[in-house]
Amino acid sequence: MSGTNSERKLIAEGPAIVLVEPQLGENIGMVARAMANFGLAELRIVNPRDGWPSEKARSAAAKADHVIDGTKVYETLEEAIKDLNFVYATTARERYGFKPVRSPVVAAETLRGRFKAGEKTGILFGRERWGLTNEEVALADEIVTFPVNPAFASLNIAQAVLLMSYEWMKSGLDDLSETTFQPVEQRPSTKEQVFGLFEHLEEALDARGYFHPPAKKPKMIDNLRAVISRRGFTEQEISVFRGVINSLDRFPRRWSKQNRAGEPGAALGEAAGNDADE
Amino acid sequence: MSGTNSERKLIAEGPAIVLVEPQLGENIGMVARAMANFGLAELRIVNPRDGWPSEKARSAAAKADHVIDGTKVYETLEEAIKDLNFVYATTARERYGFKPVRSPVVAAETLRGRFKAGEKTGILFGRERWGLTNEEVALADEIVTFPVNPAFASLNIAQAVLLMSYEWMKSGLDDLSETTFQPVEQRPSTKEQVFGLFEHLEEALDARGYFHPPAKKPKMIDNLRAVISRRGFTEQEISVFRGVINSLDRFPRRWSKQNRAGEPGAALGEAAGNDADE
């Protein structure tokens, strides 16, 4: 989905993403892209199987060049995280141990809090095939795991990075219902505008004998008003409706002479009248 | 990351994922995999460019065969959604219109509520290059958009499906801090166990002249106790600590005769004593 706007500020802050012995350049590139999508920029790689730099990574990064260009490569995980204050290890497998296990939401909130306090943080992601070793997990402060389908829990590293990056971005929002754009603002209609719509419609229908038999007219009007006003109108909607009524009320059909010869208005009125009467 | 357990129940319920004119089989496969990860199973495709079935899709789905096998193909979007009650359109681009725009969290909660009420729902995802047309968005009830980096907003369809599927799974959890596994449970220690540790350590240190000069002993003990008990101990931790003290206290070094000849214990004690005194 497109929507990138290069004139807008590029967000690039937050925890370092640390990939331990990733195998495929494509995966590293997709990680970089996912990071850029959600405002992360610091990528560290421990001992990438196919070396670095990687043209496959750059290509898969889909223009997240600022992440690829800034990527640092290390020989050991200890080197890669030695300047950090707090580190999460990601895992899908259950680990037997004493380390706290957090959900992505809680982990992202923790990382956001530490970021605001000036700490340097990181998130470790393991190899494509078998994740992190127990020794690597032991270097982290806490574990983060994803709420996956137990019978289908295999996430690739780019997906895992995407989810953590997304939760990181969300942890910076004041309100989880916040969206980057809003619908065109619409003013709610006043009751006077609603009554004007009712009267307009009812007069046009009355002129065609819609309210039949006359004794049922009050009940039919009640039903009609209930149906058309159930969700509340905006000013714009009232205006659209009145245009529609005007068109149906005042102008003959242009394109079908055959229909003009019949009496579709009366027939429709009667059918609708029967419905409203039940 | 591995962790799939085929003996566990496969979750497969919730909104249909509707891909409009996807181009690459690989992307369709990655969508199926992301759905399976988070318990969705109903995939609908409108007019896939490279036809269906697709071996590339099956291969990229990484064994999410139940999703691939159940995929239905339609010629038009209207056909694909005609049996549904409520539909979201995903978009990264700002759309000018009157439809409500929701965050993924709110959209997933809405879908969960409608699912519980027995409604059939769906989420529309557009083409790789340019998403959904305005006419396609108009067929949906509401819009969902992702909180992306404004300067790098391009999500691929598999990523967008992954995020919505993940939020769907989360919307079914009672508690967002819930995780699929927990650390080994540890009982907090009693104060008696903590005091036992203090006395054990202090006796071993005292026997080596650590508390020097004697006048500073009470203050040094205060500092020592504060440092080692800052975070609270579990029973297991007390047990580990006491084993460590026993080992250091009772047994000589085996492997380095040179060090045994010096007095590392005394030197360490003095340095620590100076620190504790400040």
Provide the percentage of residues in chain A whose pLDDT is more than 90.
49
Q: Are residues A78 and A150 in the same domain?
A: yes
Residue B62 sits at φ, ψ, to 5 deg, of: 50, 55
- The answer to whether residue B142 sits within a structural domain is yes
Asked if pLDDT for residue A150 goes beyond 60, the answer is yes
Kind of pairing between the strands at B43-46 and B142-144: unpaired
Q: Are residues B164 and B228 in the same domain?
A: no
Q: Which residue of A has its CA nearest to B67?
A: A152
B-chain residues within 8 Å CB-CB of A130?
A: 2
Structure tokens at A224: 């009609």
Kind of pairing between the strands at B121-125 and B16-20: parallel
- The answer to whether residue A88 sits within a structural domain is yes
Residue type for B180, please? Answer: T
What pLDDT, on a 0 to 100 scale, did the predictor assign at position B255?
54
Residue type for B134, please? Answer: N
What pLDDT, on a 0 to 100 scale, did the predictor assign at position A170?
94
Residue keyed to tokens 């990523």: B159
What pLDDT, on a 0 to 100 scale, did the predictor assign at position B6?
57
pLDDT tens-digit series, residues A225-270: 888 777 778 888 888 888 888 888 887 776 544 444 444 443 333 3
CA distance B278 to B262: 27
Bigger pLDDT: A97 or B214?
Answer: B214
- The answer to whether residue B184 sits within a structural domain is no
How far does B212 lie from chain A, in Å, by closest CA? Answer: 34
Strands (E), chain B: 16-20, 43-46, 72-74, 86-90, 101-102, 121-125, 142-144
Q: Are residues A220 and A254 in the same domain?
A: yes
Q: Are residues A151 and A196 in the same domain?
A: no
Whether omega before A22 lies within 30 degrees of 0, making that bond cis, reads: no
Bigger pLDDT: B23 or A8?
Answer: B23
pLDDT tens-digit series, residues A186-237: 788 888 888 899 999 899 888 888 888 989 999 888 888 888 777 778 888 8
Provide the percentage of residues in chain A whose pLDDT is more than 70.
86
End residue of a domain, out of B171, B202, B218: B171
End residue of a domain, out of A111, A141, A171: A171
Asked if pLDDT for residue A31 goes beyond 90, the answer is yes
Residue type for A237, please? Answer: E
- The answer to whether residue B4 sits within a structural domain is no
pTM of the model: 0.77
Q: Are residues A227 and A273 in the same domain?
A: yes
Selected residues 108-167 of chain B with any CB under 8 Å from a CB in chain A: 125-126, 129-131, 143, 145-157, 159-160, 162-163, 166
Q: pLDDT-derived band of residue A99, with 50, 70 and 90 as boundaries? A: confident
Asked if pLDDT for residue A112 goes beyond 90, the answer is yes
Q: Are residues A100 and A206 in the same domain?
A: no
Cβ neighbours for B277, distance < 8 A, ≥ 6 positions apart: B216, B219, B220, B223
Interface residue A177 vs chain B (CB under 8 A)? yes
What pLDDT, on a 0 to 100 scale, did the predictor assign at position A266?
36
What pLDDT, on a 0 to 100 scale, did the predictor assign at position B10?
67
Q: Are residues B160 and B234 in the same domain?
A: no
What pLDDT, on a 0 to 100 scale, did the predictor assign at position A10?
67
What pLDDT, on a 0 to 100 scale, did the predictor assign at position B263?
42
Which CATH number belongs to the domain containing residue B56 in this structure?
A: 3.40.1280.10
Q: Are residues A23 and A160 in the same domain?
A: yes
Q: Are residues A253 and A144 in the same domain?
A: no
How far does A77 lie from chain B, in Å, by closest CA? Answer: 18
Q: Are residues A64 and A104 in the same domain?
A: yes
- The answer to whether residue A2 sits within a structural domain is no
- The answer to whether residue B115 sits within a structural domain is yes
- The answer to whether residue A183 sits within a structural domain is no
Q: Are residues A167 and A202 in the same domain?
A: no
Asked if pLDDT for residue A167 goes beyond 80, the answer is yes
Domain count, chain A: 2
- ipTM score for this prediction: 0.74
Selected residues 65-94 of chain A with any CB under 8 Å from a CB in chain B: 90-94
Interface residue A43 vs chain B (CB under 8 A)? no
Q: Which of B93, B98, B159 sits opposite A3 (nearest CB)?
A: B93
End residue of a domain, out of B138, B171, B204: B171
pLDDT in single tens digits along all 278 residues of chain B? 445 555 666 666 899 999 999 999 999 999 999 999 999 999 999 999 999 999 999 999 999 999 999 999 999 999 999 999 999 999 877 776 778 899 999 999 999 999 999 999 999 999 988 899 989 998 999 999 999 988 888 888 999 999 999 999 999 998 888 887 887 777 888 888 888 999 998 988 888 888 889 899 998 888 888 887 777 788 888 888 888 888 888 877 765 444 444 444 433 333 333 333 33
Q: Which of A2, A99, A101 sits opposite B131 (nearest CB)?
A: A2
> For residue A210, what are the domain limits?
191-277
- The answer to whether residue B199 sits within a structural domain is yes
Cβ neighbours for B151, distance < 8 A, ≥ 6 positions apart: A4, A5, A6, A7, A8, A9, A10, A11
What pLDDT, on a 0 to 100 scale, did the predictor assign at position A55?
96
CA distance A98 to A134: 12
What pLDDT, on a 0 to 100 scale, did the predictor assign at position A265?
40
Cβ of B5 within 8 Å of Cβ of A151? The answer is yes
Cβ of A151 within 8 Å of Cβ of B10? The answer is yes
Q: Are residues A167 and A201 in the same domain?
A: no
3-class secondary-structure state, position B16: strand
DSSP string, B49-98: TT-SS-HHHHHHTTT-HHHHHH-EEESSHHHHHTT-SEEEEE-SS---SS
Asked if pLDDT for residue A272 goes beyond 70, the answer is no
Q: Which of A34, A152, A236 sits opposite B159 (nearest CB)?
A: A34
What pLDDT, on a 0 to 100 scale, did the predictor assign at position B29?
97
